[in-house]
Homo-oligomer: A and B are copies of this chain.
Amino acid sequence: MNPRGDTWMALFPPLAGLPEAERGMLATRAAAAALPAGTTVFEPQQACGAFLFVTRGSVRVYQLDQDGNEIVLYRLGPGSICILTTMALLAADRYSAYAVTETEVEAVALPGPTFDDLMGRSPRFRGFVFLAHAERMADLMRVIQNVTFESIESRLAARLLALAADRGTLSITHQQLAAEIGSAREVVSRHLKAFERRGWVSLARNRIEVRNAASLRGAAGDADA
């Protein structure tokens, strides 16, 4: 049923301490699923009825307003669970958030009843779920901190570094970058141009190369934490 056995559990350190019986439940009741890049995983007024463990790839969760403005709230990678579907599952509430796969994503789905069973049976599993909720809550609070108190320049620098990771170069448009930090394309373009003039990055269509990460880190300051 699960093509990779229960090895996916290794991606979730808090699950390591679960008793064998509960690991067995996870292994036998969970079903793996693969989603191509660009799949809409979640949007308002429509919920997926399972508890999802992400085992590979990346899911971007973002907010939209009615004019199409966008801001990225957080990303889910291997080892994360989708808290929006959990909320929708258990609290029947509705959010104004969207989630889309950025790459091909593999996830393990736990049926609602099994999830609830585990929540009742296992203090450790409860701790795991609460921890995940706490992390997402912290993500949202970080976003609020950034948009409210940090300058565009520092947020942009921080986000460039985060997205480039150690690859040093990234394929992204200015429009997408603006959506990352909840700003406007023109504003991002101007700041990138300024970064380029200072020799911190090189710009080309759809491509940004980080040339001086140290300076960017300095400009990032406290942004993103």
Contact = CB atoms under 8 A, between A and B. Distances in A.
Chain A facing B: main interface SS: helix
B87 A133 contact: yes
Interface stretch (A28-36, A99-107, A137-145, A193-201): A137-145
A84 to B, nearest CB: 9
Contact of A121 (B120, B130, B131, B149): B120
Interface in A80-124: 83, 86-87, 90-91, 93, 95-97, 116, 119-121, 123
A6 interface: no
A136 to B, nearest CB: 7
Contacts of A135: 93
Nearest to A94: B138
Interface in A21-58: none
B93 A131 contact: yes
Contacts of A73: 141, 144
Contacts of A119: 119, 126
A133 B96 CA distance: 16
Contacts of A10: none
Interface stretch (A63-71, A167-175, A202-210, A212-220): A63-71
A147 interface: yes
Interface of A: 63, 65-67, 69, 71, 73, 83, 86-87, 90-91, 93, 95-97, 116, 119-121, 123, 126-127, 130-131, 133-138, 140-141, 143-145, 147-149, 182, 222, 225
